[in-house]
Amino acid sequence: MNYPGKIKKEYNKYTSYANRGMDLEELINQSNEYYLESDIAVIYKKPTPITISEVKYGTKERIITKAYFRTPSTLDYNGIYRGRYIDFDAKETLNKTSFPLQNIHEHQLLHIKRVIAHGGIAFLIIYMNGTFYYLDGNNIINFIDNNKRKSIPFEYIETNGYIIEQKIKPRLDYLKIIDKLYFKED
Amino acid sequence: MNYPGKIKKEYNKYTSYANRGMDLEELINQSNEYYLESDIAVIYKKPTPITISEVKYGTKERIITKAYFRTPSTLDYNGIYRGRYIDFDAKETLNKTSFPLQNIHEHQLLHIKRVIAHGGIAFLIIYMNGTFYYLDGNNIINFIDNNKRKSIPFEYIETNGYIIEQKIKPRLDYLKIIDKLYFKED
């Protein structure tokens, strides 16, 4: 589950990020801010899906006093780049040999299929073995359709994925991979 | 502000919807569900943006016990239709002569401009005088760039907007307007 609290806890274990102390979500948010400010792309993280159960009226504003986390049915980030619809999620694993598919909900897989079918670009950013990988939605669907395994072997990600360059700006230049894959640029 | 509680309260005043008792958000969500299930488009409402301040661990799940509403910087709905990036919001007013621009935040206007500049389709669904109108982002930007008025006159919406047909499925067939405007279909 993609719950902020839980994520933070896991991230704090890591020391191998090039940008120490910054978690994966923060790296992507900063990259998206850079893309936005530089007029390169318009990509946002969706808010955490919650069900609000109780709201109180404070002196200045309304305060949510009871709410529950919902399972997301889409991916966390979406937007537009070079006229194309972009939809992706960021995942990480401490597992060195394979990426557990339990990290992706079944309706998220369906969502990836739908986005691709309608002409969009869907992918995952996977942090694994100290490297950030771009794994295209087509590869994910292809793997799942042809395997009964509950995890994607690291070799599959290394072979079919693309290493995302880490820079100062943007922190993770994942759109460069999309240029290469979808716009035939080097 | 687009707060669920506040919206509900305003919606309950209305009796003129063809679908009595169903609020604007619900009409659009049902339309989007129909589009999704019929494999026509992949469009979702973004969750309400909140800042989570306190979380407790219940017996089965984590419960948010304190959170604040955030001002949204994008529009409420986005997705993909016929390969195009779609981004919109739904607004309503009881005002009969003009649509108050305070209904749209300044960064939402900037967002509309950016989406259009990057090749996406941005628009508003406006419920006013008992009718649902599609008003394209280009018209909104054009009006604001050429007027100092703090509201859009109803005549402008009637002249430049398009009436959205109400049906059983989908409840509000707003994609039909996009077919006409962006795909040159009748």
pLDDT in tens, A117-145: 999 999 999 999 999 999 999 999 999 99
Q: What percent of chain B has pLDDT over 70?
A: 88
Q: What's the whole-model pTM score?
A: 0.87
Q: Could A64 and B69 be called an inter-chain contact, meaning their C-beta atoms sit closer than 8 Å? A: yes
Copy the structure tokens of residue B136. 């394209």
Q: How far lies B116's CA from each of A29, B121, B140, in Å?
A: 22, 6, 12
B35: nearest Cα among B180, B185, B179, B139: B179
Average of per-residue pLDDT across A71-87: 96
A21: left (phi over 0), alpha (psi -120 to 50) or beta: left
Residues 6+ apart with CB under 8 A from B152: B98, B99, B101, B135, B140, B143
Please check whether residue A1 touches B, CB under 8 A.
no
- In DSSP terms, which residues pair with A88 in a beta bridge? A77, A123
Give residue-wise pLDDT tens across range B31-55: 999 999 999 999 999 999 999 999 9
Q: Is the pLDDT of residue B1 over 80?
A: no
Q: From the list B61, B63, B119, which residue is nearest A66 (CB)?
A: B63
Note whether A36 contacts B: Cβ–Cβ < 8 A.
Answer: yes
Q: In Å, what is the CA distance from B128 to each residue of B90, B123, B166?
A: 11, 15, 14
Q: What is the pLDDT of residue A186?
A: 65
Beta carbons of A80 and B5 less than 8 Å apart: no
Q: How far apart are CA B161 and CA B180, in angstroms?
A: 12
pLDDT at B14 > cutoff 60: no
pLDDT at A58: 83
Taking residues A177-181, report their average pLDDT: 98
Is the interface score ipTM higher than 0.95?
Answer: no
User: Chain B residue closest to A36 (CA)?
Assistant: B114
The structure tokens listed for B22 are: 């169903």
B positions 46-65 inside 8 Å of A (CB) = 46-50, 52, 55, 61-65
